[in-house]
Every structure is written in C-alpha cells, then in structure tokens.
Amino acid sequence: MPPSPAAAAASGTSHLALLLLLSSSSLFFLYKSIALRRLRRTLRPSPSPSSSSPAAAAAAPTLLYASATGTSKALAERLSARLADAGLPARATDAAAFDPDDLPSVPLLLLVLPTHDAGAPPPGAAFLARWLAETAADFRAGALLLSGLRFAVFGVGSRAYGDTFNAAARSFSRWLRALGAVEVLPVGEGDVDEGDLDDVFEEWCGRVLRVVKGEEVEDDAVDGETNGFDGLEGEESDYDDDDDEEEEEEVASGEVDMEDIAGKATAKKQNGKVESALPNGGQNGARAMVTPIIRASLEKQGYKIVGSHSGVKICRWTKSQLRGRGGCYKHSFYGIESHRCMEATPSLACANKCVFCWRHHTNPVGKSWKWKMDDPLDIVNTAIDEHRKMVKQMKGVPGVKPERLAEGLSPRHCALSLVGEPIMYPEINTLVDDLHRRHISTFLVTNAQFPEKIKALKPITQLYVSVDAATKESLKAVDRPLFSDFWERLLDSLKSLHDKDQRTVYRLTLVKGWNVEEIDAYANLLKLGQPDFIEIKGVTYCGSSATSKLTMENVPWHADVKEFSEVLASKSGGIYELACEHVHSCCVLLAKVDKFKINGKWHTWIDYDRFNELVTSGKPFKSSDYMAVTPSWAVYGADEGGFDPDQARFKKERRHGAAALKG
C-alpha cells in the first residue's frame, strides 16, 4: 500500500533536514580544518638561522608593494636592491600576487604602498586589505594569529589631501598590530608633493637595514616597544585604537594644518629648546611655495620661476609664429598674435592632480593659499622681463623674422593658464589690472574649484572654466581633486560663470576611455553656465610618467573631436553651432548663435583695442561690445583647417629633414 501524501511530505522534510545538517557539519569541519592549519603554521618553530654570515642571522624579509602610478614600485625595487647588497635578497612583489594565508609563516614583512581614493588602498592591495580588515574584526581569529610576524610599512601620499594622507599605510599598520604582529618601525610617511620623498624613504630604508641586521634602532619606539629585530621575539601588540583617534582630533583641532602643501612641521630639539622645523626656510607660517626640488624640476622643463610662487614659459606657438610658421588655436579662434603672447601664472599650485596634467604633477598642490605672497606688480614686471629674455634667445634662430622678433619683445596677450590655478592668488585682481594698464589682454583658466574667486574676479578679456568631466564619478577619476566637495564646487563655478558679462568659455578636454561617452551629461551642464563659447580639445599626450596612466590610445583624432562637437551642438537645441576649428591642435570651437553669428558671419575674434578702451573706462561692458569678424580660413569646415594662409606651413620629415610649403 503506497504511503499517504502526509507521510510522504513528512519523509521528504526529514530527508531535507538531514541533508542540511550534514552540509552544516561539513562546513563546520572545513572551517575547523582551515583554522587548525593556520594555528599549526603560527606555532611552527622557526628554523635555526645559519651562522655563515651576519646577514644570514635573520630570515630574508617579504617585500610587497602596491602601486597606482609606479612610484611605490620604484621605491620597493630600490629597497630590494639595498637588501640584496646587505646579503638578504628580497624580491619586490606586487601585493596582488601575495596569498594572505601565508602571513603567519612570514618572519618579516615590508610594505610600500600609496593611498588611493578617499584613503583606500590601491586596487593591487585591495584583497590583502580586505583580508586583514575582516580577520582583525573576527573574534575567532584572535590576537595571536600573526604573533610571529614583524613588519614595517612605508606610505606614499600627499599631505594636501588632509587626514587621508597615507591613510592606507596607517590602516595596514593598525590591522597587523590588531592580529598580534609586531611593528618594528613607525609607519614611514612620504609626501610626493613636498619634494622630500626620496630623502624620507632613504632614511626609512636605512632603519630597515639596521632592523634586518639585528641592530638597535634609536628613537624608533612603537607603542612603547623598542625596534630591534632580535629583541621582539614573542612579544604581543598592545595597540589601542584610541591612539589614532587622538591623532585625528589633534589634526582636526588645527594644531597641524594638513591642508598645507608644506606639510606637517616636525619639532626639532636644538640647544635644549624645541623649535618649529618649517620647510623651505619659512618663518611665522609664511613659506615659499616653490621648494628647491620643485624649482629644479620646473626649470628643467623650461620654466622661469618668478619670485616664490609664479612662473613664465615661452610657448612653442610663440616660437612658431616668430618664424612665420603658424599660430595656436587662439590665433584662429580669437585673433591673438601668438608671437606676442606671454604664457604665465601667478600660482604654480593647483587643487587637482589631473590624469592628463602635462606637467606630470611637478607643481605643488593645495586647497587654500598658505604661502608667502609676492607683490603682484613685481610678478608682472619680472614675468615680462623673463619673457623678453626668452624671446631674445630666438634671435639668430633659422627662420625667425626680425620684424616678428621686435614685436615679440612687447607682449600684447597673457595666457594665465601655464600650470596650477592662477585664480588662487589672493591679489589676482591687482595683477590683472596691471596687465590691462599695459594694454595686455588676459585669458584666464580656472579649474572650477574656487567659485567664490570667480565671483570676485574683475572683468578680463576671456574667462575659461575647465570642465574635465560631466559626472561626479568621472570628474573624481579624471581630476583627482583635493576637495571632498569637488562636484558641488564645479557646479557653483559654472553658475558663477553665468553671471559674468565678459566672454566666457567652457574648456572640454576629451580623453578616450575617460569622459568622451558623457555627451548627454555635458549637454546638461551647458544650461548652468551658458558660456559664450565651448572649446573642445583632444588630450595632448605628454609621454609616459609615474603620475599618469594615459597612453596614445587615450588621445582622440581630430575626426573624433569633430564628431563629439557636432553631436554636442545638436543637443544644445540650436543655441550653439560649430564656429571654428584648428586641425593641428585637434580643437573645435562652439559659439552662441544669437550673440556671435551676425548676418550669417561669425564674430568670434576680439577687437583688442576696443577691449582696452572699455576696461580702462571703468564702465560696465559686455562681450558683444568688443567682438570682431572671424576670417573665413578659421571658420569650421574651411579648407585651411584653421591655418592662417599668411603663414608658411612647415613639416618635419621622419629623417630629420624638413620641407617648407606655402599655406
């Protein structure tokens, strides 16, 4: 007789319950097996060291790095070489390839890693970080899991990022100590922007070598313990989370200004007195923005440093037009004379670390003005003098035209967009006034992080706001801003631009794989600032560096820039149209139709004499009051592609030959 439905259901339920019980038991025994295996490795006695050499008295350390830009990898390889010279070869290994389960059997761990977004570790160390964080929080792991491990961590970061400076390195230190590991050296904190990274790392390496050799390291107590390698056998960590909280409270209280690019000034004892060790020779909180290392790096790139925080550099287009070989896109779009243009900035500091920075982040960074401030009139005078010297050096260069050289000695335009954030300079209005007094036009570029400065800015010839991405996520990835409210600052900057009566521009730098897919979001941002013009330019590849991940694959062709520009113009609903292009620079200009297209002709050029009259008068004026007709060769779609037919095209051949062709 077959079982009843109720009996069959009961039987099925019993089988299911039994299956669940067996599965749970299996998982439990698997967990216990793994835990016992870890415990055995933890309690496994260390092999007796060989006495063949002093260096062999300690086991070779495990050296790991995690690198986002290559800096940490280079530092780890340098330490690896130092250890090899000491007879303890330790290959620098990417943390992504390391199995955290091996930690209990590692005698000495050396870590070199930067801090990524918002204090997080870089992607290469994400798995190791997650393993440590979860294990440290798991009561079943216990505080003795890594009691046989000694470690030292070196962090690579920037103090300009405030309390997230080397946060990843400090987190690794905290997790390891919570698991019973003994920290043999305090966390090394290198600052890539302060200019002393190499010196700090070298000092840390020296201490690591002394630890590895079993020597005592003076003044390096960690949590009240000495840092000698041999003297730490079997000791436990007495780490307390409150230590970090007290340190953070100290920073928040203002005792240490972590926003300051010069960094945290350590106290030095001299003649029994404690003195503040302000870098750059600063006194009473006023220090020079440009450190000797930054100065040397920028001067190597051709900059002339003006005073303590400004710079000037001769542009390649200035050299080109001195030889009659064509001007830059500003010549095509706005009628500037490239050979009479001075490229300068009153602030070499910036609040971003953009992935496409063509200076490879050799300039300092900061969120507010904390440096010694030079007189604006002195800056203008010195910048013009240095510019003239660079122009004079072109005398005798093949192709330079004497009449152009004579004109070039009297600059008529100033591009305040060299590097850094010129609008940060507190006396920017006085500086601009002095340029206008000399009948020098002003083209100022701001990175959209200081909306209040835009509001306070006096009338200039043309004001740019860099809109490097159209969404919060991509802007963070592209600009790598210091401000946590960077997106709100961008939006406020665009709104501030809307209130300006003079010529305004959105500058879009297209980076394939980063921001070119956001065309709808860009179209939405046009409504906020309603700029007169939109400059759309392909990113310029400036070679590989440790601070940039860009390759030629990220550089759009001019056809790509044109396609993007045409779509953006169509999405504006007829408010903007394609006005000009400069093929050589992969650059396209969109302009407002109702303002600058009169009787079917574009008026994007500037009447500079008229502008000088207007700004000198002190009376209110608008962008339409000093516009001029755009020549046909500069108009979008012209056969010349934005190249001035009065100039001579010059093409370099691959084998260093050259041929000049009349344009």
Give tens-digit pLDDT for 169-197: 999 999 999 899 999 999 998 887 766 78
Q: What CATH number has the domain bearing residue 187? A: 3.40.50.360
Examine residue 249 and state whether it is found in any structural domain, yes or no: no
Domain final residue pick, 159, 191, 213: 213
Packing angle of the helix pair 519-529, 486-498 (nearest 10 deg): 50
Residue 53 within any structural domain of the chain: no
Parallel/antiparallel/unpaired status of strands 658-662 and 648-652: antiparallel
Please tell me whether residues 451 and 313 are part of one structural domain: yes
Compare 239 and 418 and report the one with higher pLDDT. 418
Residues 204 and 322 in one domain: no
What does the pLDDT read at residue 232?
A: 31
User: Do 189 and 324 share a domain, yes or no?
Assistant: no
- Is the pLDDT assigned to residue 239 strictly greater than 50? no
Say if 51 falls within a structural domain: no
CATH number of the domain where residue 409 is located:
3.20.20.70
Final residue before a domain boundary, out of 182, 213, 244 = 213
How far is the CA of 228 from the CAs of 62, 82, 118, 570, 618, in angstroms? 18, 19, 34, 69, 71
Residues 207 and 301 in one domain: no
CA proximity to 481, closest of 443, 431, 529, 447: 447
- Give CA–CA dist 356/627, Å, rounded: 32
Give the model's confidence band at 478: pLDDT under 50 very low, under 70 low, under 90 confident, else very high.
Answer: confident
Q: The whole model's pTM is what? A: 0.62
The distance from CA 603 to its chain's CA centroid, rounded to whole angstroms, is 37
β-bridge partners, 598? 601
148 within a domain of the structure (yes/no): yes
Cα(182)–Cα(400) distance, rounded to whole angstroms? Answer: 67
Is 36 in a helix, a strand, or coil? helix
How many whole angstroms separate alpha carbon 236 and alpha carbon 561? 61
Task: Say how far apart CA 187 and CA 206 lie, in whole Å.
Answer: 14
207 and 309 both lie in a single domain: no
Question: Domain check: are 71 and 187 in the same one?
Answer: yes
Comparing 208 with 192, the larger pLDDT belongs to 208
Q: Judge whether 446 lies within some domain.
A: yes
pLDDT surpasses 50 at 562:
yes
Distances (CA, A) of 319 to 282, 323, 324, 406, 660: 37, 7, 9, 13, 16
E strand intervals along 265-351: 267-270, 273-276, 304-306, 310-313, 341-345
Q: Count of residues for the chain?
A: 663
Q: Do the bridges between strand 441-446 and strand 413-416 make them parallel or antiparallel, or are there none, so unpaired?
A: parallel
**Is there a domain that residue 23 lies in?**
no
Whether the per-residue pLDDT at 143 is higher than 60: the answer is: yes
Round to whole Å and give the CA distance between 309 and 290: 6
**334 in the same domain as 454:** yes
Beta strands in 573-646 (DSSP E): 576-582, 587-592, 597-598, 601-602, 605-606, 627-628
Final residue in a domain of this structure, among 171, 189, 213: 213
Pick from 582, 558, 564, 569: nearest CA to 630: 582
Residue 360, in any domain of the structure: yes
Q: What is the mean pLDDT of the chain?
A: 79
Highest mean pLDDT out of 56-60, 233-237, 399-403: 399-403
Question: Does residue 251 or residue 292 have the better pLDDT?
Answer: 292
For 156, other C-beta atoms within 10 Å of its C-beta total: 29
In this structure, of 208-212, 242-246, 655-659, the range with the lowest mean pLDDT score is 242-246
Q: Which domain holds residue 388?
A: 292-634
Overall average pLDDT of the 92-120 stretch? 87
Is 443 found in the same domain as 306?
Answer: yes
Q: Pull the structure tokens for residue 327.
A: 């001007």
Model confidence at 101, pLDDT cuts 50, 70, 90, reads confident
- One domain for residues 365 and 513: yes
Q: Are 322 and 400 in contact (CB under 8 A)?
A: yes
* Residue 221 pLDDT > 50: no
3-state secondary structure of 150: strand
Domain count, the chain: 2
576 in a structural domain: yes
Identify whether residues 338 and 472 lie together within a single domain.
yes
| CA atoms within 13 A of residue 3's CA, in its CB half-sphere | 8
pLDDT in tens, 276-310: 333 333 333 467 888 787 788 788 888 899 999 99
